Amino acid sequence: MSSDTVTRRPANEDDLPFLLKVYRSTRAEEMAQLPWSDDEKSAFLKSQLESQHAYYAKVFPSADREVLIVDGEPAGRFYVDRGENEIHVIDIALLPPYRNRGIGSRLLIEVLAEGERTGVKVTIYVEKRNPAKRLYQRLGFEVIDQDDVYYLLAKDP
């Protein structure tokens, strides 16, 4: 596990440029394959992030939306919705320099411990092609549903 100091704080409107940077980093591989100009890619990703934020606000109005701080530097985002019968990890994303350092594992272990304490399942969606699925399964998540793009994973308390 990482020895990085990880803290969290609520995300706010001032964080939108940073959150766009995080979002852009999660789509970099996909965007590299498109024959668009950098300006076209930037406009598209900004629009996609705005749509995602609007969707999250509508579907998960009371979710915690947090900026991850690693060793004093903004490093990613962590969105979690805590319901009466379920804790749903909406999104966890780190900038490339912070990936594969155990940070995501630590955050998920904390959420799983919360699920154990409160007696509710923890769920998360993952794209079928996302290598993070292996991490989730190592932590005990199991596939409970799927569509063409995503798996829905869950871990019961």
Nearest of 16, 29, 33 to residue 99 by alpha carbon: 29
CATH architecture of 6-155: 3-Layer(aba) Sandwich (3.40)
d(CA 22, CA 41): 15
pLDDT along the chain (157 residues), means of 10: 84 95 93 94 95 96 97 97 97 95 95 97 95 93 96 97
d(CA 81, CA 64): 6
Nearest of 135, 22, 126, 131 to residue 77 by alpha carbon: 22
Residues paired with residue 153 on neighbouring β-strands, in sequence order = 124, 143
List the chain domain ranges.
6-155
Structure tokens that stand for 130 in this block? 């996302």
Predicted confidence at residue 4, as pLDDT, reads 85
Predicted confidence at residue 153, as pLDDT, reads 97
d(CA 66, CA 74): 11
- Please enumerate in sequence order all residues whose Cβ is within 8 A of that of 112, keeping only pairs 6 or more positions apart, or say none: 122, 139, 140, 155
Sign of CA dihedral 55, 44, 135, 144: positive
Predicted confidence at residue 148, as pLDDT, reads 96
pTM of the model: 0.92
